[in-house]
């Protein structure tokens, strides 16, 4: 890709928190779309480590996990030569713009964020940090720093993207066209906007699920994948059909469709009358086949820290160059003294 090209392409920004393991839900809900869109957009893919510390992390494990995520992004098919892949903490402008945007965001707006309400509730008794409250503003800063046009995320992030839009519009009304107002991109339900827990199909597959059988990590072994899918919650109907009253089976169909590229209706037809046993066995093999090449590539990349660091170094420089321009523009707009 030459420079000329890069300028004319619209910008895509997305990120995943390096907390827990990267799982099939995150792959299907986000990364799969990143891969599809990476040629049409100038892409910034971030490992959003500043977001992760809104919940306590073990420093050593956290640092290693950031490398895991980097190697997995690449193993999944994000090309570091064509896209900017970087750690959020390597680009100071993210924290700096957050402060500015904090001054243009209402307490009430943040209090209404459902992710905050859920996470705060889960912390039962423990102090809820200001960082957790402010999380969506940091996310808005991520997006707005890069003149982002498109933000591909899972359905649960819609409210955060809408907040980023509101903040951008509010700022632009005061100071002129500073920010690009982003669109979110949420895959259709069938394509896997929301992959649910295998154990509790009413709640989403989550890195922080205490029940490890609910989540399939991209790095799970074939035996573990088979075991988890065998235990996946279904219903007593023994009918492979996508329906709101059958959340467990519908979720498995969604996963099946996503890892094979088949239509859900084709899968329903294929498994008509066959019961859940065969369906689950075949799904397990499909998932094993799907993750095998990702794991192979991951293990090749993961041990070469020097190479991974070089990728992060280059990504940090590219992201900083872009983000710094926007930050300067914002500083000028609000009236800070500009040193030339």
**Which residues participate in catalysis according to the annotation?**
119, 204, 207
Q: Give me the least distance between CB of 16 and ligand TRP, in Å please.
A: 6
Q: Give me the least distance between CB of 153 and ligand TRP, in Å please.
A: 5
Which CB, 14 or 234, lies closer to ligand TRP?
A: 14
Taking each helix axis from N to C end, the angle separating 130-144 and 158-175, rounded to the nearest 10 degrees, works out to 70
CA–CA dist 276, 244 (Å, integer)? 18
Query: 189 vs 6, 217, 264, CA distance in Å?
Result: 31, 21, 11
Residue among 12, 15, 18, 220 that touches ligand TRP (CB under 6 A): 15
Of 116-124, 152-160, 201-209, 222-230, the window that binds ligand TRP (rule: CB under 6 A) is 152-160
CA–CA dist 339, 319 (Å, integer)? 22
Contact of 317 with 324, CB cutoff 8 Å: no
Contact of 233 with 219, CB cutoff 8 Å: no
Q: Nearest-CA neighbor of 186 among 37, 46, 38, 42?
A: 37
CA–CA dist 141, 323 (Å, integer)? 10
Q: Give me the least distance between CB of 323 and ligand TRP, in Å please.
A: 13
The answer to whether residue 143 forms part of the interface with ligand TRP (CB under 6 A) is yes
Residue whose structure tokens are 């990590």? 217
Of 15-23, 67-75, 232-240, 304-312, the window that binds ligand TRP (rule: CB under 6 A) is 15-23
Residue among 144, 151, 205, 233 that touches ligand TRP (CB under 6 A): 151
Binders of ligand TRP among residues 17 to 36 (CB under 6 A) are: 17
Phi-psi category of residue 273: left, alpha or beta, with phi > 0 → left and psi -120 to 50 → alpha: left
Q: Give me the least distance between CB of 225 and ligand TRP, in Å please.
A: 23
Residue among 142, 196, 280, 308 that touches ligand TRP (CB under 6 A): 142
The answer to whether residue 206 forms part of the interface with ligand TRP (CB under 6 A) is no
Query: Can you spell out the DSSP letters for 49-69?
Result: HHHHTTS---HHHHHHHHHHH
**What ranges in the chain are assigned the alpha helix state H?**
3-8, 24-26, 32-37, 49-52, 59-76, 93-102, 107-111, 114-122, 130-144, 158-175, 222-230, 247-260, 264-270, 275-302, 305-334
Six-digit token string for 217: 């990590």
Residue among 89, 98, 139, 234 that touches ligand TRP (CB under 6 A): 139
Which CB, 135 or 271, lies closer to ligand TRP?
A: 135
The answer to whether residue 286 forms part of the interface with ligand TRP (CB under 6 A) is no
Residues facing residue 44 across a β-bridge: 13, 84
- The strand ranges marked E within the chain are 11-16, 42-47, 84-87, 150-152, 183-185
3-class state of residue 325 by DSSP = helix
Q: Give me the least distance between CB of 46 and ligand TRP, in Å please.
A: 7
Which CB, 151 or 216, lies closer to ligand TRP?
A: 151
Binders of ligand TRP among residues 45 to 104 (CB under 6 A) are: 48, 51
Q: Give me the least distance between CB of 293 and ligand TRP, in Å please.
A: 25
Please tell me the count of residues contacting ligand TRP according to CB under 6 A: 14
Taking residues 219 to 258 in sequence order and writing x for each that binds ligand TRP by CB under 6 A, - otherwise, the string is: ----------------------------------------
Which residues of this protein are in contact with ligand TRP, per CB under 6 A?
13-17, 48, 51, 139, 142-143, 151, 153, 157, 160
């Amino acid at each position: 890709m030459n420079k000329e090209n890069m300028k004319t392409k619209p910008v895509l920004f997305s990120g995943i928190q390096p907390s827990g393991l990267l799982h099939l839900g995150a792959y299907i809900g986000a990364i799969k779309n990143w891969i599809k869109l990476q040629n049409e957009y100038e892409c910034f893919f971030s490992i959003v480590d500043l977001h992760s510390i809104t919940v306590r992390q073990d420093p050593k494990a956290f640092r290693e996990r950031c490398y895991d995520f980097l190697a997995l992004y690449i193993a999944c098919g994000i090309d570091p030569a064509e896209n900017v892949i970087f750690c959020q903490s390597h680009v100071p402008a993210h924290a700096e713009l957050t402060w500015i945007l904090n001054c243009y965001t209402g307490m009430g707006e943040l209090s209404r964020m459902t992710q905050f309400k859920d996470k705060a509730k889960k912390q039962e008794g423990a102090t809820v940090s200001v960082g957790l409250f402010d999380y969506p503003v940091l996310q808005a800063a991520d997006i707005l720093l890069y003149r982002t046009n498109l933000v591909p995320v899972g359905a649960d992030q819609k409210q955060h993207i809408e907040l980023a839009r509101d903040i951008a519009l509010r700022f632009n009304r005061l100071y002129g066209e500073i920010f690009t107002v982003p669109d979110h991109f949420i895959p259709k339900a069938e394509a896997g906007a929301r992959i649910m827990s295998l154990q509790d199909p009413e709640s989403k597959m989550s890195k922080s699920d205490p029940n490890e059988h609910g989540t399939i990590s991209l790095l799970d072994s074939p035996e573990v994948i088979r075991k988890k899918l065998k235990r996946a919650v279904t219903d007593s109907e023994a009918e492979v059909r996508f329906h709101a009253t059958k959340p467990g089976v519908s979720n498995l169909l969604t996963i099946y469709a996503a890892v094979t590229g088949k239509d859900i209706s084709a899968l329903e037809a294929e498994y008509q009358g066959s019961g859940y046993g065969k369906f689950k066995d075949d799904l397990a093999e499909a998932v094993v086949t799907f993750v095998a090449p990702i794991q192979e590539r991951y293990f090749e990349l993961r041990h070469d820290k020097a190479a991974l660091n070089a990728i992060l170094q280059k990504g940090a420089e590219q992201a900083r160059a872009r983000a710094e321009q926007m930050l300067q523009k914002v500083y000028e707009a609000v009236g800070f003294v500009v040193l030339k």
